[in-house]
Amino acid sequence: MKKVNANTCPEIGFAKSRNKKVDLNVNSYYLIKMNQMETKDDSSLDFIRTRIEEDIKANKNQGRVHTRFPPEPNGYLHIGHAKSICLNFSLAEEYNGKCNLRFDDTNPCKEEVEYVESIKKDVRWLGFDWEDREFYASDYFEKLYEYAVQLVKKGKAFVCDLSAVEIKDTRGTLTEPGTESPYRNRTIEENLDLFERMRKGEFKDGERVLRAKIDMSSPNLNMRDPVIYRILHASHHRSGDTWCIYPMYDFAHGLCDSIEGITHSICTLEFEDHRPLYDWFLEELDVFRSQQIEFARLNLSFTVMSKRKLLELVQSGYVKAWDDPRMPTLSGLKRRGYTPESIRDFCGRIGLAKRDSVVDIALLEFCLREDQNKRAPRRMAVLDPVEVIIDNYPEGQVEELESENNPEDESMGKRKVPFSRRLYIEREDFREDPPKKYFRLSPGREVRLKHAYYITCQNVIKDPNTGKVQKIHCTYDPKTKGGWAKDGRRVRGTLHWVSVPHARNAEIRLYDRLFNTKNPLDLKEGEDFKENLNPNSLKVLTSSKLEPGLSKAQPGDRFQFLRKGYFCVDPDSTQDRLVFNRSVPLRDTWAKILKKQKQK
């Protein structure tokens, strides 16, 4: 088997040398683990892979590794889910196992087909394939019901008439035991009859539930006679009106794992206290024992990961939709211009931990820059234009100047860009009264036009009413073609530009972080997380100018706009109006963070 150098593979978070070429496809991303297995070097294994290694050595489950990604179809996937997706599919790939895609669709009140389809689309976009293993908890409703009946027959479950509020009030606290339900000692026969009548729809929502009979004095609140079935007269997106009782997540999840033969059930840390309950159901029913292992979920700064809160932002109109480029959803990140390679790289870099922490969003942005620096074509776009007129350039003349498509990859070739007497430059690239260390265009100062000539500002025309600069008159040095002076003189400022008669109009959407605070949920009493929303998270520029070659760009195409950042064509684009989303600016704050860490 081909071996991968763990010191240079950027996809797994051990990158030490960016000068070496690395295949960024999904398969190479996972070959690192196989390389470790061959070399018997377990020193760099995380705690989950260490556990799997131990199980394989002990021939547990005949050395088989079978994982699953089990989303609830009650919203769109976000960047936190990407960590779980990459982990579960990678483990299956690394150990020649399998990974299922299973929808835990046990709550018909919140689930929609739209969410199912979006989840499948996002998993495929990340580069993973569940092959023929697409399952649903609803596939097992009849079997789960039979399991519940078995528990009743064993005296391990009972029908309870307490309301949800009453059950909560009698559950107890961390320091005080709970109070047993007055219905806890119903006979097996009575419980079987009531549970069957629950299924037939004889009772109203909330009138009765089925609870496991475990231990109301357990130090683990999850073991204090948890509800395992509730009545919901709601139509299910797959089973329709066949059922009016639905299993609770804690009951269904572990048993679905067991039915599918899942060997390692990888969950986030909040399910650690649920593991005894997970194991209890499997033990009492004497079924295949899946092993639950927990890891810390992904928390990202300046972001919320709660699907409930993200749904609130959508429904309240704070964002346009689930795929709004400001959202941390995978569909939003895709629309903003993030690549699956950059997200897989990010998930590999953050690694696995047993303790919750917050990852700086600058690292996610860094991963996109790393990916796009090597792959994104360079183009010139003037976002806030002001016109420059080169007085001594021949009127009507047009030159086709050669420009590289990507200096990081010569194989991407070069392109021709038209140059004329009238140009657009960025308004911020001119100052009539420049401060110190300002090296761009100002009266009497010479600057370089990228790929073109040196120009010198001669005078300025301003609006007589507002004083705003309307046009800048310059002269050029014809001996500096290509942007270099033959006499050796140098200039410190280099500007990008677009030829006025050849420019294409565009709408540019400049996205920033959705929240102003690092932890939007760190709230005082009475505060709402929406108060931390960034009012400047979107700025729309409607008069931007592009070099003409961009007129053929299609939705999803990605570019680096020189000196401005990485941009992606938005699906809102039409043949007459291009719309670009800024993915990330060029400024790399994470690189500075890394530099400071190294200095320490």
Active site residue 432: no
Return the residue matching tokens 């290694």.
53
The number of residues in the chain equals: 600
Q: Is there a contact between 210 and 195 (Cβ–Cβ < 8 Å)? A: yes
Phi then psi for residue 121, to 5 deg, are -65, -40
Strand ranges across the sheet with 454-462: 494-495, 446-449, 454-462, 469-477, 385-390, 422-426, 498-499
**Helix count and strand count (H, E) for the chain:** 14, 27
Q: What angle do CA 21, 22, 23 make, to 5 degrees?
A: 130
Q: What angle do CA 201, 166, 110 make, to 5 degrees?
A: 50
Single out the catalytic residue among 11, 72, 294, 426.
72
Retrieve residue 426's tokens: 């960025």
Retrieve residue 25's tokens: 């496809």
Active site residue 297: yes
Single out the catalytic residue among 307, 369, 558, 564.
307
Return the residue matching tokens 């909330």.
206
Which amino acid, 204?
Answer: K
How many Å apart are CA 16 and CA 28, to the nearest integer?
A: 17
Spatial CA neighbour of 314 closest among 45, 581, 595, 530: 530
How many Å apart are CA 547 and CA 416, to the nearest integer?
A: 10
How many Å apart are CA 328 and CA 322, to the nearest integer?
A: 9
Q: Is 431 helix (H, G, I), strand (E, B) or coil?
A: coil
Q: Is the dihedral of CA 473, 477, 480, 486 positive or negative?
A: negative
Single out the catalytic residue among 297, 335, 379, 545.
297
Q: Is 303 helix (H, G, I), strand (E, B) or coil?
A: coil
Distances (CA, A) of 497 to 289, 438, 475, 509: 65, 18, 15, 19
Active site residue 72: yes
Q: What angle do CA 594, 599, 600 make, to 5 degrees?
A: 100
Spatial CA neighbour of 263 closest among 74, 386, 100: 100
Which residues are known to be catalytic? 72, 297, 307
